[in-house]
Structure 1
Amino acid sequence: MTSKSPVRSCEDVDEAALNYAEIKALCAGNPKIKEKMDLDIEVSRLKLLKASHQSNQYRMEDSLLTYFPENIEKNKGFIKGFEQDLKTLEKNMPDEGAFLPMIIKGDTLTDRDNAGAALLEACKEVKGKDPMEIGSYRGFTIHLSYDGFYNEFQLTLKGAMSHTAKLGMDSRGNLTRIDNALASMSDRLKAVADQLDNLYKQREAAKSEVGKPFLQEQELKDKVSRLSVLDAELNMSVSKQQKQADRRVSKGGRPSVLDNLKQSPQAIREGKEKQNKYMEVR
């Protein structure tokens, strides 16, 4: 379905379809035909494994050239961005129970309830998915967008990276969601760092696998060679049997029309008279 060689394999449970030569060989009790059929299956299986091995080699080579370098650099950029945003967050960390001012539509709101209410009012002006900048909070710019499919508003805090929170109808709950989105920044940084470490390990594993030969190459060559010998022997055997059958019903063993035409008229008349007497007797 994917045009790629399958990684897993299983034995074929379908009945083998025999050609005419194979059926004749089986009827003749030739043990080589079973060997040939077994070799056909083994050669097909080994060729499939070889094709899968080559496909894996090409894929790993491509990954070493493009996938790993691109994703390693991308994750390095993410780590750098998260580290920069964490520094911004540390500079704008409120005291226990305090609320840092939120700027919405040019108004600086120092009260939590007022900030939550102003945020809900700003949502009424958002009509589509395109983010609209409405202010800033804790060193990050605030952008709002609306998802008509899910019927929800999404707030994005942008620094070097983007940090999102889904908004509801509770003004205080929205502020809690925003703070939680900023607090999860360290967890996201750790996840990206783990992913980068995993990419390094995968790259090293790919380097060690690239260039390895197909381990069953010699076995495949031997079985292909043996199969060619069996094919030649079986074809030769079938040809001999056919020639022998043709000799038994050869042209020389059948009455010749030309010989009949070469008979004299007298011989022809005598033959007809004998046939007529035979019919009279009957």
Structure 2
Amino acid sequence: MYGSEGSVWKPAVVMRQGAGRLPYAGTNVQTKLVAIHDLDCPWRPRDLEQRLGRVIRQGNQNSEAHIYRYVTENTFDAYLYQTLENKQRFISQIMTSKSPVRSAEDIDEAALSYAEVKALATGNPYIKEKMDLDIQVSKLKLLKANHLSQRYALEDRLLKLLPQQIKSTEERIAGYEQDVALYRRQDADTMDGEEAAFAGMTIKEFTYKERASAGAALLEACKGMTSPDPQEIGQYLGFSLWVSFDSFYKEYKATLRGALGHSISLGTDASGNLTRLNNALVALPEKLAYCRDQLVTLRKQMETAKEEIAAPFKQEEELQAKSARLAELNALLNMDKRENEAIDAGVADEEPELPDRKRANRQER
């Protein structure tokens, strides 16, 4: 059995021989244990875990073990287990990061006033209500802190991130609109990717009318690059044509630039490279539609953020009511403490009279 300070008590016959108490930490008696009896509550969660580790561990020859905990209603046990619960809650929050708290109070500094101890001893219902309210108020405050944290994040998003995203998307939409208009001004027959419909490509001031020769010239222009920086080498379908070398992926890239840049990776197939360029231009209307949908979504997110920022904490009234009741209970429980302090002060005032009595007794003798 375990007694005060989480110690293991030896059998009475051994204690009479002067063995005293044996600390439970590191005690290897697990092979035959079938039950553990907690007579009191320790101050630290690890002490309770250490107790259980004496019986619930590898090497115990019993398939089952029983755990008994003894508590007395309306006594100091309630406060001890309450303190143990608070400590374990903060430990779990720090170890698992599941709760959005950023600070924890040192529970070891918590102490009961004389009035609270007397309330426990006399079965005062106020102390039980106070403990319940402490837990509820703590949870509500945590929820409110999380609500405020989310609101601050939304305010930053509303004031900084969303306006920047909306502005950037609007600029991309304007650029795509100009490039789509430029692309659509070309003869529709030249957009089908067929050899006979090839409209020509200008590379280094020379215009190639055939698809194969244009693709070969594009590859030769890449091989002749002396700098990794993008270089303008010609035009294709009204867009300026740029080539560059991606040192990370070790490949050449071609970019068609209008209001925006539209890049593709170049391969070794000359005809395939021209098909990739055509596909990039064909995809412009689809990208324009996507940006427009994205702009609508961003504006809806801005409106939603405004509504959520304006929304109050839903449980504010409950928090205020329970906090007020908790303050009342604290005042009631501290009332006796102030009375005790007044009584102690009165006793202290009477103490200086004792030396006078002693002097008077000495004079009589």
Q: In which range does the TM-score fall when normalised by the shorter chain?
A: 0.7 to 0.9
Choose the corresponding residue for 1:71, options 142, 161, 165: 165
Residue in structure 2 matched with residue 183 of structure 1 by the alignment: 282
User: Structure 2: how far apart are the matches of 1:25 and 1:191?
Assistant: 71
Check if 1:237 corresponds to 2:336.
Answer: yes
- SS class of match (2:310): coil
Alpha-carbon distance, 1:34 to partner: 3.0
The match for 2:126 among 8, 25, 32 is: 32
Deviation at 1:228, TM superposition (A): 1.2
1:235 deviates by: 2.2
| Distance across 2 between alignment mates of 1:104 and 1:170 | 17
How far did 1:157 drift? 0.8
Q: Which amino acid aligns with 1:193?
A: R
Whose Rg is larger? Answer: 1
Q: For structure 1, which segment, 109-118 or 61-70, has the greater mean C-alpha deviation from structure 2 after superposition?
A: 61-70
Q: Does 1:157 align with 2:251?
A: no
Partner of 1:174: 273
Decide whether aligned partners of structure 1 residues 152 and 92 sit closer, same or farther in structure 2, where only a CA change above 3 A counts. Answer: farther
**Count of residues in correspondence between the two structures:** 258
- Whose RCO is larger (CA < 8 A, sep 6+)? 1
User: Aligned runs of 1:80-159 on 2, under 5 Å?
Assistant: 80-90=174-184, 91-93=186-188, 94=190, 97-98=194-195, 99-126=198-225, 129-159=228-258
**What's the offset of the Cα at 1:109?**
1.8
Deviation string, structure 1 residues 37-73 (Cα, Å, up to 9, x no partner): 3322322332333344344445545555554444334
CA contact (8 A) 2:193 2:275 kept: no
2:296 alignment partner in structure 1: 197
- Name the aligned partner's letter for residue 186 of structure 1: P
* Gap regions ≥5 residues in structure 1: 1-5, 11-15, 268-282
- Cα gap change, 1:208 to 1:243, in 2 (>3 Å): closer
Cα gap change, 1:8/1:176 in structure 2, threshold over 3 Å: closer, same or farther? farther
RMSD: 3.8
Q: How does 1:206-225 map to 2 (within 5 A)?
A: 206-225=305-324
Q: Secondary structure at the match of 1:135?
A: strand
Change (3 A) 1:222 1:128: farther
Higher mean C-alpha displacement, 160-169 vs 58-67: 58-67
Q: Out of 107, 112, 135, which is 1:20 matched to?
A: 112
Q: Is residue 131–residue 143 contact of structure 1 (8 Å, CA) maintained in 2?
A: yes
For normalisation by structure 2, the TM-score amounts to 0.58
CA 1:126–1:46 in 2, change beyond 3 Å: closer, same or farther?
farther
**Deviation readout 1:1-23 (Å, 9 max, x if unpaired):** xxxxx99779xxxxx76523387
Calculate the TM-score normalised by the size of structure 1. 0.72
Deviation of 1:195 after TM superposition, in Å, equals 0.3
1:222 partner letter: A
Stretch of structure 1 that moved more, 197-206 or 92-101? 92-101
Equivalent position SS for 1:20:
coil
Shift of 1:261: 6.8
